[in-house]
Chains A and B, each alone.
Chain A
Amino acid sequence: MATRMKAKHQRLTLALLAVAALIGAALLAMSALKDQAAYFYTPSDVGRDHLAPGRAVRLGGMVTKGSITKLPDGVTIRFLVTDGAATVPVRFSGIVPALFKEGSGVVADGRFDATGLFVADQILAKHDERYMPPQVAGAMHKSDSIETGPKAKALK
C-alpha cells in the first residue's frame, strides 16, 4: 500500500513539475517580452508617444522623395521617413537592400538617439516583389512600390 501511495506521489510530482515548467516558461517569456520586444512605430506615433532614447523599436513608413543623402564615408546614408502626417530623420550605415528607394515603403530596426535621430541597425529587405511586410501594407494604404507581374514582363 505504501509503495502504491508513493507511486501516485511520483506521478503527481512529475505532473506538477511539468505544469510548473510551463508556467515558468510563460512568466519568463512575458518578462523578457516586456524588456526586449520592439514595437512598431509610424512617424506620427513617434511624435505622439515620447520614446526613450536607446529603446529598440521598429520604424515604418515611406521614404520621402528627394531626401536620401549620402555621407562622404560612402557607406552611410540619411533620409526622411514619413507617413504623410509626420516625418522622422533616419541614419543608416550599411548596404541598403534591393528595392530601397525614394518614394517606396521601408521598415527599419534601430533606436532613437537623444537628438531625435533614428539610428537604424537594419533596413528590412523586401526580397520578393510579391511580398510586402504586413506592417507596411497596414501602415500605408496601398504602396505603389510593389512592382507587379505586368511590369516584370514589360521589363523582360
Chain B
Amino acid sequence: MIAEAGLVALWLGAALCALQLVLTILTLRTPLVLSEVEGRVASASPGARASTSLSTNGEEMGPDGAMLAKAIRPVAVAQGLLTCLAFALLILLFIRVDLSVLLVAQNDHSEKPFLYRFAASWGNHEGSMLMWVSILSVAGAAVAVLERRLNERTLIATLGGQAAIALGFYAFLLFASNPFARLTPPAMEGQGLNPLLQDPGLAFHPPTLYIGYVGLSVAFSFAIGALVTRDVGPAFARAMRPWVLGAWIFLTIGITAGSYWAYYELGWGGWWFWDPVENASLMPWLAATALLHSVTVLATRDGLRAWTVMLGVVAFSMSMVGTFLVRSGILTSVHAFAVDPRRGSFLLALLALYIGGALVLFALRVGTVREGSRFDALSREGALVLNNLLLTVILGIVLVGTLYPLILEGLTGDKLSVGPPYFNSAAGPLALLLCMAMVAGPLMRWRREDVRPLLRRLAPAAALVVVALIAIKLFAPPIGLLPLLGLGLSFGIGLGSIEPLFGRNLRRTPLFTWGMVVAHFGIGVALAGMACDSAFTVEKLVAASVGETIPVGPWRVKLASVTPGFGPNWTSMESTLEVERGGAPRTLRPQARYYWAPPTETSESAILTVWNGQLYTVLGSQAEGGRWQLRLWWKPFVTLIWAGGGLIGLGGFLALIGRLLRERRSAKNRELYA
C-alpha cells in the first residue's frame, strides 16, 4: 500500500500544481489585485476606476482575483508537502526493501547497510527525478511562505512560473519515470546498487547538488514573474538575491563535495575529470555566479536590468540542460546509468518548452525593461560586467565542449571525445583573467573610479604576485606555464581579496562584506591547491613484493602484507602499507573489493592527510611472482582545493546571513519610523 499511497500523493501534487498555474493565470488576468486596487482608488480619478472595471469584462474579477491570489500560497505549500510525502514513502520502501516495487528490486538489496538502503532511493533515475520534483515544489512552497518583500502580483507570477516548471516534470515522473511501479511477481532479492555508489558521499552529495540545481528554479521563476508583470528593478533584485545565494551555496558545496568524492572513490588520483556530469553541475554554478554578481549591481545600483533577468533564465536553463544530460542517458560517462531514448526525448521536449518559452517572453518584454542607471567603464559595475562576460565565455566553452560531441554524433555519426586538454587550454587562461578582475573589482568604487588610486590599491597584490613568481622560478622544480601563473596569482588573490578590509573597523564591517572577502579568498586558496596538484604531484606505479619499500616524493612506502577480508556484501584483498618520511611510521590500508550483487570490482584508495598534502595509495591486482600492483601519489597541498571550496561556500553563507540581518533591521526601522 505504501507504493500506491506514494503514487496518489504524487498525482495530488500534480493536480495542485495545475491548480496553482490556473489560479495564477486567472489572478493575473484581473488587472489589479485588491490591495493594489485600494491603493489605486485612493489616488485615482473616477475615469481610471471606470477603465479598471471595464477591462474585467463586467465580471466581478477584482475581489475574486484577490480571493484567488489568497488561495495560491496555501496551494503551493500543500503541493510541497505532498511531494515530500511521496518522497518519504519512497525512502520507506527502500529502507524496508519492498521487492514488489520494481525500482526497489532493481536498486536495493536486503544485505545492504541501512545508510545505503536509504541513499539508494535517490541513487537511480526515478528516485532522483522524484527528489528533483520534491525540491522544486518545496522551493515553491518556501517562496510562498517566506517571501514578503516582493509586490503581490510579481510574487503570484513567480509562483505561477514555479508551477509551470513543476507541471512538466510531474508529467515526466508520472508518465515516463514512475518510481512506484509494481513488480509482479515480486523479486526474490534486489539487484543491489552500483558498488561505486555505496559510499557515505552518496548519502549527502546528490541531495546537496540537487538543492542547488533546483533552487535556481526560483531565480528563473522570479525572472519570469518580473517579466510578466514588467517589474524589473532594485526591489525585485533584493528579493531575488537571497534565493540565488542560497542555491549557489548548495551548488558550491555540492560541487566541492562531489569533487572530493570522485577523488577518493574512483582511485584515479584526479579531482576533476571534465566529465559531462561534472560539467553539468559546473555550468549552473558558472551562470549562478554571474547572476549573483549582476543581481548585486541591480540591487545596489539599479544597473544591468535586462542582463540580470537573462541570467536568471540562463542559470536554471543550465540546470535543466544538466538534468537532461544526466538523466537522458545519452552520455559516454561513468555516471549515466541507463539508456532510454523515450525519456531523453521527453526531457528534451520539456527543455525546449521552458527555455524556448522563457526566451520568447524575454524577447517580447525586454523592450519594456527600462534602462538602468549608467556607470563608467572603469568602476565597480564595469568590473562586474567584465566578471559576467568572462563567466559567460567560460560557460560557453564548457557548454560547447560538453554538447559538441553529442551533437556531432547525432548529425554525422562521428564519435569524438572532448577531454581535459580542451577545457584546460580554452577555459584555463580565461579563469586566470577572471581571478584578476575579481581582485580588482572590490577595490573599485561604484559608478566611477580613477586609474591612479586604483593602481595604488592594486600595487601590493601585484608586487606579491611578482615576488611569488620569481621565488617559484628560483626554488621550485620547473613547472608548466598555467600552473606557474595560477600559483603566482593565488598569492595575489590571497592578499588582494582581504584588502577591502584594510582601514575598516572590522567589527562594524557588514557581514556580507566579510562574506565576499572570505569567498574571494577561498578562490585564491582553491587555485593554489589546483596549481600545486598539477605542478608538484609525484606518481609511482609499481608491482611490489611484500616487504619491499618504494620511495614516493619525500615518503617511503613499505608493502607490509596483503590479506583477504570481507564486508556485508563484498570480499576484499587488503594491503597494509607502512609509510614514513622521517617520523613515526603510519599505516595505510588500500583495498581491492569484489562485490557480488551486482558483481563488480572496485578499488578503495587509502589516503594519508598531512599538513602539506596527501599521500594517496591504491592497490591493484596481483602480478606474477607474488607481487602486487601499487599506485602511489604524493600530492602536495592538494587539500587546499577543497578547503578553498569550503571557504567559498562559507563566504556565501556569511553573505546570506548578512543580507537577511540587514533586511530585518531595516524592516524594523521602517516600522519604528512609520
Contact = CB atoms under 8 A, between A and B. Distances in A.
Determine if chain A interacts with chain B: yes
Interface of A: 6-8, 10-11, 14, 17-18, 21-22, 24-26, 28-30, 32-33, 35-40, 56, 58, 70, 72-75, 93-96, 98-99, 109, 125, 127-135, 137-138, 147, 149, 151-153, 155-156
A147 B401 CA distance: 32
Interface stretch (B7-15, B333-341, B346-354): B333-341
Nearest to A139: B415
A10 B374 contact: yes
A135 B419 contact: no
Contact of B415 (A28, A127, A128, A135): A135
Closest 5 CB pairs of A and B: A74-B543, A25-B396, A40-B415, A98-B601, A74-B623
Contacts of A40: 414-417
Contact of A74 (B330, B400, B596, B627): B627
A38 B419 contact: yes
A35 B423 CA distance: 11
17 contacts: A21-B389, A25-B393, A32-B425, A32-B426, A37-B418, A38-B416, A40-B416, A74-B542, A74-B627, A75-B620, A94-B631, A98-B602, A109-B419, A131-B334, A131-B338, A132-B339, A133-B332
B624 interface: yes
A128 B600 contact: yes
Interface stretch (B188-196, B252-260, B440-448): B188-196
A134 B374 contact: no
Nearest to A72: B624
B191 A152 contact: yes
Contact of B625 (A74, A109, A125): A74
B552 interface: no
B502 to A, nearest CB: 31
B34 interface: no
A125 B395 CA distance: 28
Interface residues of B, number: 62
A151 B415 CA distance: 31
Given A14-B385, A38-B417, A75 B541 contact: yes
B601 A99 contact: yes
A94 B541 contact: yes
A134 B417 CA distance: 12
Contacts of A30: 400
Contact of B426 (A28, A152, A153): A28
B600 A129 contact: yes
B503 interface: no
Nearest to B601: A98
Given A21-B389, A153-B189, A130 B338 contact: yes
B307 A18 contact: yes
Interface in B185-208: 188-189, 191-192, 194, 196
A128 B196 CA distance: 9
B541 A28 contact: no
A109 B417 contact: yes
Interface in B262-289: 267
A37 B627 contact: no
B4 interface: no
Given A75-B542, A152-B191, 13 more contacts: A10-B371, A18-B392, A25-B393, A33-B400, A40-B415, A70-B623, A94-B631, A95-B267, A95-B603, A128-B598, A134-B339, A151-B599, A155-B596
B643 to A, nearest CB: 28
B125 to A, nearest CB: 11
Contacts of B92: none
Contacts of B422: 32-33, 35-37
Contacts of B602: 98, 127
Given A127-B196, A128-B337, A33 B418 contact: yes
Interface string B383-414: 00100011011111100110011000000001
A148 to B, nearest CB: 9
A7 B305 CA distance: 13
Contacts of B393: 21-22, 24-25, 28
B144 to A, nearest CB: 33
Contacts of A99: 600-601
B621 interface: yes
B317 to A, nearest CB: 14
A133 B396 CA distance: 26
Contacts of A39: 414-417
Contact of B392 (A14, A22, A56, A96): A22
A74 B339 contact: no
Nearest to A4: B371
B426 A17 contact: no
A68 to B, nearest CB: 12
A147 B599 contact: yes
Contacts of B414: 39-40
Contact of B332 (A6, A11, A125, A135): A135
B246 to A, nearest CB: 26
B629 interface: yes
B520 to A, nearest CB: 22
B600 A98 contact: yes
A135 B191 CA distance: 26
Interface in B587-632: 596-603, 618, 620-621, 623-625, 627, 629, 631
B46 interface: no
Interface in B336-377: 336-339, 371, 374-375
A26 B396 contact: yes
A65 B259 CA distance: 37
Given A29-B397, A33-B418, A134-B332, A73 B600 contact: no
B415 A138 contact: yes
Contacts of B582: none
B543 A75 contact: yes
B568 interface: no
A17 B385 contact: yes
Interface in B536-569: 541-543
Contacts of A11: 371
Contacts of A75: 541-543, 620, 623, 629
B480 interface: no
A125 B334 contact: yes
Contacts of A137: 339
A140 to B, nearest CB: 13
A149 B620 CA distance: 27
Contact of B599 (A6, A18, A35, A129): A129
B396 A14 contact: no
Contacts of B394: 25
Contacts of B395: 25
Contacts of A129: 598-600
B58 interface: no
Contacts of B621: 95-96
Contacts of B603: 95
B98 to A, nearest CB: 18
A151 B191 CA distance: 11
B470 to A, nearest CB: 31
B191 A36 contact: no
B47 interface: no
Given A74-B625, A149-B191, A153-B189, A36 B425 contact: yes
B583 interface: no
A4 to B, nearest CB: 9
B421 A56 contact: yes
Contacts of B191: 149, 152-153
Nearest to A77: B623
Nearest to B415: A40
